[in-house]
Amino acid sequence: MSNDQQNPIKTICPYCGVGCGIQVRPGEEPGDMRFMPWGDAPVNEGRICIKGGAATEVVDHEDRLTEPLIRDDDGEFREATWEDAFERIVDELERIREEHGPDAMGFYGSSKVMNEENYLLQKLARRYGTNNVDNCTRMCHASTVWALRRSLGAGAMTNSMRDLGDEADLFWIHGANPAEQHPIANSQYFRQAVLDGATVIQVDPHANKTTESFEIEDTDRHMHLQVEPGTDIPLLNIVLKTVLENDWVDEEFVDERTRGVEDLEATLEDFDKEEAAATCKVPLEDIETAAEKYATAGNAAIFTGMGMSQHTCGVDNVQNEINLALITGNLGRPGTGVNPLRGQNNVQGTCDVGAMPNVLPGYQNVDDDDARESVEAVWGFEIPPEPGLTNVEISMAAGDSIHGLYIMGENPVMSEPDANEVAERLERLEFMVVQDIFMTETAKFADVILPATSWAERGGTVTNTDRRVQRMRPVEKVHDDTRHDLDILAEVGTRLFGDDAGFDFSDPEAVFEELRQVCPSYHGMTYDLLGEEGIHWPCYEPGDEGDPYLYEEEFTTEDGLGYIEGVRHQPPAEVPDEEYPLVLTTARLIEHYNTGTMSRRSPTLNRQHPENFVDIHPADADRYGIEDDDEVTIRSRRGEITLTAQVTDDIKEGVVWTTPHFAAASANRLTNEALDERAKIPEYKAAAAEIDVRIEPTDAGAEADDD
């Protein structure tokens, strides 16, 4: 068929949680796919960021895994048939269960793959006999979800991109960078509000494209509070105390819709604002001015990102944002709320369908007897009643109580903290399967590697940050011997548990039909009803269209009230000292994506930053004798990486800022694996570090001597 006879296919961008619609036109050969805008796509109406436009570049990349690989006795990978690969997997999973019990296995779902596939993966783990199943939300918004569920009811954005863009008068952007990480949400929705007069308060140790896009530094209207990493509680406590002192509290809202304000008042009674301002290294007057702007704006919306969630005090960080929204009555209306913009294209859905150790599909607690029974009635087997381990806990137990791992679409050797240790632990496993589209840093430790098809080659549904469930449609399969994630899981499940065990699915729609039966908030959706617009959950019955914003009348906590709870400063688990005098923090770039398996292989995305770098403040650079573009080594107690220095006052003095995207200088060799006690999220955003200028022993050294 020639090009012009082939219709473009409407699907969803595979990168971030905004969920932009794109079209893909098949070419002469499978793999010659071309991006086309989708003019009336529901979320983005044809607009696209650099990643969406370049998404097809990696589909036919020469590094794609195209055959199953099995590690042989001398440790080398050899190409294998699917039959051999499946046999090996089934033998090993059965052996591990026999020798060590089902909790000796861990399963990683993937926020890069479809709802149906994650649904099947968590069902497989539970049929095997364990709740040790999780996904990257643990490293991401786990603490946000924990705090939101406890204090408001649901672990999702309280508002939607559209109502925020239409109605907000102020954006409080706290440890989030929407101009780079959710670019279309920013340009299509939030920017319009700012053009219409909304104010932006950014709380971040680093200036970035969000700062630039709203010209935050150039106006009196907006503010950038350049906070010291890990001191967000004292900063928000200053804001809260200022609101209480000035009677900016919405008394009616607090009386009727919340409980716990006394606890907040008591916590802040002896709180010393001057001391707290010194701790977070932001002038007190600036924080007070920001407090006034927030509290006196008509509709004030909080965006909360990784700068808040990825701390040992992540839950308390987000609770303090909830406190602020509740005492000022900024919840339950358009243009307000506490809003985590979700990260991966399908992290919302992966959690919705139950790929988590403590909940079944639809966030039904696995330790709730009634919930288990209702799901068991559909599944036909007993579900283990105790919550399982989170993915970071699974990884920490690898080689001890965890003997085998099944990883679908995650790359923990780069994405988990203290990565040198992660690699050592994976080495100690008896058996590991990795199912991915590329040979990742993690796959190198596997015993069996399964080549999956990519996003453009198969269908299914994904759920974006607004809880909108949308269909992805297959363009064309590119390699003969790859398989869809769904088919792989169906085969493994059927071989392990038998033809009638409920894994024998041949298409995603059939899986979705079962998912609807066990996931109340998806119950009213069908593939037909999803159509091109998608449907927001909760959708309990056909025709329901989930609310664009939550909690208009009441919260979905047990008593219907929003919970206020005072919190106190807890420094990061590791703070600077003489040996490691700098604070290291890590965050993202617009062109790269997470562990870079896709973006580093995309010529368009890799052009601007082909290698890692570290931002260092001019005053620190002076003290260390570092100049722009010098090669430097950053060390922490856990490892070191060598990369290029960028001397810039974008970053706060005393802080070094780098990215997690590059394997050659992988930031997680440095980060600390300390966890938030409740949400179990690692502290990626603060560790103690030291920096050295690299002395080249050979030619470069000689040149330096000549100088």
Ligand X SMILES: Nc1nc2c(c(=O)[nH]1)N[C@H]1C(S)=C(S)[C@@H](COP(=O)(O)OP(=O)(O)OC[C@H]3O[C@@H](n4cnc5c(=O)[nH]c(N)nc54)[C@H](O)[C@@H]3O)O[C@H]1N2
Which stretches of the chain bind Mo ion, using CB under 5 A? 140, 343
The three-class DSSP label of residue 58 is: helix
Closer CB to ligand SF4, residue 157 or residue 290?
157
572 binds, among ligand SF4, ligand X, Mo ion, none (CB under 5 to 8 A by kind): none
The three-class DSSP label of residue 154 is: coil
Tokens representing residue 168 in the block: 């907000």
408 binds, among ligand X, ligand SF4, Mo ion, none (CB under 5 to 8 A by kind): ligand X
The stretch among 495-503, 517-525, 553-561, 664-672 that binds ligand X (CB under 6 A) is 664-672
| Residue 16 Cβ vs ligand SF4, minimum distance, rounded to whole Å | 3
Report d(CA 25, CA 37) in Å as an integer. 10
Measured in whole angstroms, the distance separating CA 600 from the mean position of its chain's CA atoms is: 19
The stretch among 211-219, 367-375, 406-414, 520-528 that binds ligand X (CB under 6 A) is 406-414
564 binds, among ligand X, ligand SF4, Mo ion, none (CB under 5 to 8 A by kind): none
- For ligand X, which residue of 163, 167, 410, 447 counts as binding (CB under 6 A)? 410
HEC string for 441-462 = CCHHHCCEEEEECCHHHCCEEE
- Local structure of residue 483 (DSSP, 8 states): B
- For ligand X, which residue of 130, 237, 346, 586 counts as binding (CB under 6 A)? 586
Report d(CA 434, CA 106) in Å as an integer. 12
- For ligand X, which residue of 305, 362, 502, 576 counts as binding (CB under 6 A)? 305
- Local structure of residue 5 (DSSP, 8 states): G
Provide the strand spans (E) within 207-360. Answer: 223-225, 258-259, 300-304, 337-340, 359-360
Kindly report the CA angle at 448 between 444 and 449, in degrees rounded to 5? 65
Give the footprint of ligand X on residues 109-168 (CB under 6 A). 110, 112-113, 136, 139-140
The stretch among 90-98, 290-298, 299-307, 634-642 that binds ligand X (CB under 6 A) is 299-307
437 binds, among ligand SF4, ligand X, Mo ion, none (CB under 5 to 8 A by kind): ligand X
If residue 85 lies in a helix (H) or strand (E), which one and from where to where? Answer: helix 82-100
C-alpha distances in Å from residue 180, one per residue of 104, 191, 596: 39, 13, 15
Give the footprint of ligand X on residues 364-393 (CB under 6 A). none
Closer CB to Mo ion, residue 279 or residue 312?
312
| Residue 675 Cβ vs ligand X, minimum distance, rounded to whole Å | 13
409 binds, among Mo ion, ligand X, ligand SF4, none (CB under 5 to 8 A by kind): ligand X
* Residues 677, 570 contacting (CB under 8 angstroms): no
Looking up tokens 């998806």 gives 522
The reply to whether 684 sits near ligand X by the rule CB under 6 A is: yes
The three-class DSSP label of residue 706 is: helix
13 binds, among Mo ion, ligand SF4, ligand X, none (CB under 5 to 8 A by kind): ligand SF4
Kindly report the CA angle at 152 between 147 and 156, in degrees rounded to 5? 70
* Residues 109, 122 contacting (CB under 8 angstroms): yes
| Residue 357 Cβ vs ligand X, minimum distance, rounded to whole Å | 16
| Residue 667 Cβ vs ligand SF4, minimum distance, rounded to whole Å | 21
> Please, what is the angle between helix 369-379 and helix 508-518, to 10°?
150
Tokens representing residue 403 in the block: 């003997």
Closer CB to ligand SF4, residue 164 or residue 686?
164
User: Interface with ligand SF4 by CB under 6 A: which residues?
Assistant: 13, 15-16, 18-20, 44, 48-49, 51-52, 182-184
| Residue 10 Cβ vs ligand X, minimum distance, rounded to whole Å | 18
Give the footprint of ligand X on residues 431-490 (CB under 6 A). 435-438, 440, 452, 454-455, 485
- For ligand X, which residue of 361, 362, 412, 493 counts as binding (CB under 6 A)? 412
Closer CB to ligand SF4, residue 294 or residue 455?
455
Closer CB to ligand SF4, residue 38 or residue 580?
38
Closer CB to ligand X, residue 261 or residue 402?
402
Ramachandran angles phi, psi of 665, nearest 5°: -135, 70
Closer CB to Mo ion, residue 140 or residue 449?
140
- Local structure of residue 124 (DSSP, 8 states): H
Looking up tokens 């969406």 gives 52
List all residues 6 or more positions away from 91 whose beta carbon is below 8 Å from its beta carbon.
none
Tokens representing residue 30 in the block: 């499978």
Kindly report the CA angle at 499 between 493 and 503, in degrees rounded to 5? 40
The three-class DSSP label of residue 629 is: coil
Q: Which of 91, 90, 123 is closest to 109 using CA atoms?
A: 123
| Residue 363 Cβ vs ligand X, minimum distance, rounded to whole Å | 19
The reply to whether 569 sits near ligand X by the rule CB under 6 A is: no
Looking up tokens 């047990």 gives 558
Residue in the shown chain whose Cβ atom is closest to ligand SF4: 52
The contact set with ligand X (CB under 6 A) reads 16, 110, 112-113, 136, 139-140, 174-177, 180-181, 203-206, 208, 227, 229-230, 232, 305-307, 310, 343-344, 408-412, 415, 435-438, 440, 452, 454-455, 485, 585-588, 590, 592-595, 597-598, 660, 667-668, 671, 684-686
